[in-house]
Amino acid sequence: MQQKKGFLDLLIQTLSSMRLTVFLFLTLAVCSIAGTLLPQGTSLEELERHFGPSLSWWIEIIGLNDLYRTGWFRAILLLLCVNLIICTLQRLPKTLKLLQHRDEQISPEKLEKFNYHTEITIHRPLDATRTQLTEIISKAFAPVQPLSSSDAFRAVAEKGRWTRWMVYVIHFSVLVILLGALLGSVFGFKGFMNLAEGESSDEVMLAKGKNAIVLPFQIRCDDFDVSFYDTGAPKEYRSDLTIIDKGQEVFKQSIRVNDPLSYDGVTFYQASYGSILKRAKVELQDRDTGTTHQLTLPYREVVPVPGTRDEIEVMQYQENFSNFGQAAAIVLMREGQEPVGSWILIDKPEFHGNRIQNYRVKVSDVERGHYTGLQVKRDPGVWFVYIGFIVMLTGIGMTFYTSHRKLWVWASPSKGKSNATTVFVAGRTNKNSLAFEQEFNHLCARLQNDLNPKQH
Amino acid sequence: MDSSLLLSITTFAYLLCALLYLSGVLFRYRPLLIFGSVVAAFALVIQTSGILLRWRESYQLGYGHAPLSNLYESLVFAAWAIMLIYLIFELRTKQRVLGVFPALFAFLAMAYASFSTQVDSKIQPLVPALKSNWLIAHVVTCFLGYAAFTVSCGISILYLLKKTQSDNPHPKGVLGFLPAARQLDQFNYQMIVFGFLWLSLGIITGSIWANSAWGTYWSWDPKETWSFITWLVYAALLHARNMQGWRGPRVAWLSVTGFACVLFTYFGVNFLLSGLHSYATK
């Protein structure tokens, strides 16, 4: 039992140590470096091609190809959170105590031990000095709080007490940001959808896994447009989208990169685009009979060949098929036989392989369109993250650029001189001592000047 | 008069400036240092006009964007930010002997931007991904952070040089001409705090921008990850110094390490790793 308690104490002591914090920071840094050396999300086959099977096995086990999602990386993050929380819980009572501490025992001997202290002699009695002393310090520094005292005048003045909390604010913001990230990954999703011009859909392919989810509304792509600069560099990708909710067109909006659309908590981002075939004009020459058919084939629609029992369909289209230019995969369906298909090279009409069964196939014209690639996301945690960001920045600024400054004042009639007052002032700051030194010296010089009777 | 002429003048002015600071320290001759500061201030004014002129020229070309969009423009801005921060630091602390490294780094950035064949100095139109108001906020905040860390690294190097003679309380020669080690440590800390605040702002603006462009505020892209690594190193430094009482050489070495991370985030990621920030390589 004794030993167990010893272990627990040791554990808490370790978890609350600043050494562990620094160690975890540097460990996280080193581990993160490992993740940037290998493209994340590389598949096992690709790994094996580059590194061979045994090394790939190790990479896969350690998770180097998906490092930031591995359990051990998250464990380090979690450990950092635990460290942060325990540190906070340990230090919070100390801060509270420090702030509640009243310094009743002010004496010249004590004040002389401060880093910043000074002794001023005022050629006026204490009663005449006290009010003005309080006034000047209250105005120039902070409200003076007199302490009860029988013989001498004792007081403290402080400002920036709240800045002692700022470091906790930063630490709190880290937790808020991580909470936001957690909420996003539990209650949100990320995926993509490809929409041809004119097409509408409610199905989003998820980025993780091979599942799809169905949105409670439809989105339609009315038009996609890409424009270029004179230099040939892309200028703008734009999709005109319409939201259709319960059969009603709710609203239309154009999206661009950097300018997404949000509806019902789901956001659509312009991510990619590509070409699709809308219609192909095809010339079929029956080599047995010599007859030629001119057909217009809408993409993926079965069209009968007149005067025969054959049917024909464009199944696939590629803009650049193995560097031979455009190609269409056309399938011929003949009653009682298996369908037969072939890639027809559109840009090389004389190619001898442009045939299916007894037909010679020539694509005389294509009508092309675009599809737009949309990134689709729902992230209910993002506002936590943003609030965390703001809180963190405020906290960092305040922690490093504000300080808790405190003055102690002691005043009493000078010994042996009934008409004079001796004033001791001492000061302390928890940060930025250079600036405080200036402020302190300035204030003391002012007290010396303003409290003494003007000499004409 | 066009912007490239002004920026060429700037490049050589920073070289002159670095040489003046260096000789001022080596010969322990203060007028050279003052001359160095004057040249630095003039160079900064010329560079500022050069950057503003380039901005105008991009409008005349019909592109119309802030000159912060590619490697060339970011290098020029980095040099500008380093010298701006250094000169403000010099004014506030009245220390001129620390100018060697900032001026040298500013010159190197300008020289790399102007003379490397890898860097294209032409004004290019903005690709769709960069068309956002976040561009200015993100680049400016990041580079103010990087610049403060650059100055801090220079101070750290001087500190470590000074410490090689730590046994001698009153070192003679060049090292004796430098401020006291304790003071260097203090300056270094101030620069790191300043840089840390701006780096945090830079990462956060980048994160918000990524969320509005791609729908994810953090995707562990190499650039993001390296900026996070840099942030962690400086966060470790601040915790170690404030809570563990680290001072002196250990802090200086951590600061140099942090600056190495800055350099890798800026250049290494662009040239060695691939990711979303690929437009920064041209």
Q: Collect all residues of chain A within an 8 Å Cβ-Cβ radius of residue B226.
A: 32, 36
The angle subtended at Cα A399 by Cα B252 and Cα A174, nearest 5°, is 90
Per-residue pLDDT, B274: 60
Which pLDDT belongs to residue B75?
96
Residue partners of A88: CB distance under 8 A and separation at least 6 = A168, A171
- Is the Cβ of B183 closer than 8 Å to some Cβ of chain A? no
Q: Answer yes or no: do B134 and B203 share one domain.
A: yes
The pLDDT value given to residue B277:
57
Structure tokens at B26: 């080596």
Contacts of A256 (CB under 8 A, 6+ apart): A236, A237, A238, A270, B128, B131
Mean pLDDT of all residues in A379-384: 94
Q: Which of A257, A376, A389 comes nearest B128 by C-beta?
A: A257
Together in a domain, B115 and B139: no
Contact residues on chain B for A269, CB-CB shorter than 8 A: 213-215
User: Which residues contact residue A125 at a Cβ distance below 8 angstroms, ignoring those fewer than 6 apart?
Assistant: A413, A418, A419, A420, A421
Beta-carbon-side half-sphere exposure of residue A378 (alpha carbons within 13 Å): 14
Per residue in A77-106, pLDDT (tens digit) is: 999 999 999 999 988 999 898 888 776 678
Same domain, yes or no, for B77 and B178? Answer: no
pLDDT, position A217: 95
Say if residue B41 is in the same domain as residue B159: no
How many Å apart are CA A72 and CA A89, to the nearest integer? 25
For residues B8 and B27, membership in a common domain is answered with: yes
Are B176 and B215 found together in one domain?
Answer: yes
Determine what percent of chain A is predicted with pLDDT higher than 90.
47
Report pLDDT for B276: 53
What average pLDDT score do residues B240-260 get?
A: 90
Written as one string, the DSSP assignment of B86-124 is HHHHHHHH---TT-HHHHHHHHHHHHHHHH-TT---S--
Per CB-CB distance under 8 Å, the chain A contacts of B239 are 18, 21-22, 25
The encoded tokens of residue B217 equal: 């505020």
Average pLDDT, chain B: 90
Interface predicted TM-score (ipTM) of this complex, two decimals: 0.91
Q: Which fold has domain A107-160+403-451?
A: TATA-Binding Protein (3.30.310)
Q: How much is the pLDDT for B282? A: 45
Per-residue pLDDT, averaged over A389-407, amounts to: 94
Domain ranges (residues) in chain A: 2-98, 107-160+403-451, 186-273+374-393, 276-372
Domain that holds residue B180: 127-282
> Any idea which of A140-144, A396-400, B179-183 has the lowest mean pLDDT?
B179-183
State mean pLDDT over A316-325. Answer: 86
Q: Do A269 and B132 touch (CB under 8 A)?
A: no
Least confident of A39-53, A436-450, B62-76: A39-53
Poorest-confidence range of A73-77, A452-456, B127-131, B215-219?
Answer: A452-456
Q: What is the pLDDT of residue A1?
A: 45
Which of B93, B119, B145 is the endpoint of a domain?
B119
Residues B84 and B151 in one domain: no
- The pLDDT score that the predictor gives to residue A104 is 66
Does the distance separating the beta carbons of B243 and A267 come in below 8 Å? no
Asked if the Cβ–Cβ distance from A26 to B229 is below 8 Å, we say no
Instruction: Examine the fold and report which residue of B64, B99, B119 is the final residue of a domain before the chain moves on.
Output: B119
Angstroms from A267 CA to nearest CA on chain B: 8
pLDDT tens column, B187-228: 999 999 999 999 999 999 999 999 999 889 998 888 999 999
Higher pLDDT, A90 or B270: A90
Which chain B positions have a beta carbon within 8 Å of A185's beta carbon?
none
Is B97 found in the same domain as B177?
no
CB-based contact, A33 to chain B, within 8 Å: yes
Question: Average pLDDT for residues A8-20, to the nearest whole number?
Answer: 86
Is the pLDDT confidence value at B157 over 70?
yes
Q: How many other β-carbons are positioned within 10 Å of the β-carbon of residue A120? A: 18
**B134 with B270, same domain?**
yes
Residue type, A70: T
Query: Residue A211: is its pLDDT beyond 90?
Result: no
Q: Is the pLDDT of residue A279 over 50?
A: yes
Lowest mean pLDDT among A157-166, A322-331, A354-363, A411-420: A411-420
Contact A410, A153 (CB under 8 A): yes
Q: What average pLDDT does this structure show over B135-147? A: 96
A residues 35-94 closer than 8 Å to B (CB): 35-37, 39-40, 68
**Residue B9: pLDDT above 60?**
yes
Give the pLDDT of residue A369: 86
pLDDT at A352: 86
Residue A442 — pLDDT band, cuts 50, 70, 90? very high
Of B119, B137, B160, which one is at a domain's C-terminal end? B119
Average pLDDT over residues A51-75: 87
Q: Which two tokens stand for residue B247?
A: 């001072």
B256 touches chain A (CB under 8 A): no
CB within 8 Å: A257 and B124: no
Domain count, chain B: 2
> To the nearest whole angstrom, how far is the Cα of B234 from the nearest Cα of chain A?
9
Whether B22 and B142 share a structural domain? no
Note whether B282 and B159 are same-domain residues.
yes
In this predicted model, what pLDDT tens digit does every residue of A174-185 receive, in sequence order? 999 999 999 998
The verdict on B153 and B281 lying in the same domain is yes
pLDDT tens digits, one per residue of A234-254: 899 999 999 999 989 998 999
Q: Please state, in angstroms and rounded to a whole number, the distance separating the CA atoms of residues B118 and B106.
A: 18
Residue A369 pairs in a beta bridge with A276
Q: B117 is written with which tokens?
A: 């064949």
